[in-house]
Amino acid sequence: MPTEEDLHRARGVVRDHLTPTPLVPSDPVGALLKLECAQPTGSFKVRGALAALSALDGAARAAGVVAASTGNHGLGVGFAAARLGIAATVVVPETASPAKLDKLRRSGVRLIQHGDGGAAAEAHALDLAADGLTYVSPYNDPEVIAGQSTIGGELRERIEGPFTLVTPVGGGGLAAGLALWAATQADVRVVGVEAEASRPVAAAVAAGRTVTVPVAPTLADALAGNLEPDSITPAILAAHEVELRSVTEPEIRAAMRLLASEHGLVVEGGAAVAVAALLAGKVSVTGPVVALVTGRNVALPVYAEAVTA
């Protein structure tokens, strides 16, 4: 599990490499929007990648890293690797978003397309790790989780007093990091939001162990897929009593449309689920609320269809 020392170290690393992302009010949502879509890679994932790669020892840095990703984690690993002088290989499914593939090709990573889903890409990445590369999980890694927690520190610098923090949940790394950070505060509540089409974290929390769930097609492709066996994120969320909600595809579309029309923000489906849950009245709140808007890397045809449907 990530320690308080891990969280502190990650905060310093992220502060050295990234500018705090904007926090803007949204009257239609009734919340402050933390715009992680403004990160240089287009997603919050760069935080965890920087924390994980900076923690490697000399031998691991020399050998290089490998990651499996639907796109955003790979972009974060590519950014961190370039900053830290580490060779990186990223394995993506053959079905990965064209927008993310294009950015990955330009990031300098060695890009491998393998399999028809996240599980196949992950299995291939683990095979490559067995040959000497360090595998960097997008969520099941204490340093990655610590990196994602750094959003909390930025929020505390801007917000005094209690607030509710609503965050997307895919593998649970972001929510786990924020839950660990919130445990150091006296007045922060964390609510996680999954896509209804893919709820592996909620299932694992309910079962007390990682379980396999059905996964349907979803606009929130970055959140979709089952968990690695023995993932640590559900246990962290359960221990810190993080509430879990879910949103439907029409609710995701409505959030994407509102973010475009009211704020001029182009966001991917997975990035809009926190806003979707608030718009749909699925999160009970009193007092200030922060919704994380976590990424912008969406193929334009997919985006256009989503916001005009």
Structural domains of the chain, with CATH: 4-44+143-308 (3.40.50.1100), 46-140 (3.40.50.1100)
Q: How many CB atoms lie within 10 A of CB 179?
A: 26
pLDDT in tens, 98-148: 877 888 989 889 999 998 877 788 899 999 999 999 999 999 999 999 999
Q: Residue 188: its pLDDT value, please?
A: 97
pLDDT in tens, 145-164: 999 999 999 999 999 999 99
Instruction: Copy the structure tokens of residue 218.
Output: 């979803």
pLDDT in tens, 250-285: 999 999 999 999 999 999 999 999 999 999 999 998
Residue 47 in this model has a pLDDT that exceeds 90: yes
Compute the average pLDDT of residues 13-27. 98
Indicate left, alpha or beta for 92 from its phi (over 0: left) and psi (-120 to 50: alpha).
Answer: beta
Strand order in the sheet with 134-135: 110-113, 88-92, 65-68, 134-135
To which H or E segment does residue 145 belong? helix 142-148
Q: Across the chain, what does the average pLDDT equal?
A: 95
Q: Residue 26: its pLDDT value, please?
A: 98
pTM of this structure? 0.95
Compute the average pLDDT of residues 296-307. 93
pLDDT in tens, 56-112: 999 999 999 999 987 899 999 999 999 999 999 999 988 877 877 888 989 889 999
Q: Residue 3: its pLDDT value, please?
A: 94
Q: What is the DSSP letter of 44?
A: T
Of 37, 16, 29, nearest to 270 (Cα)? 37
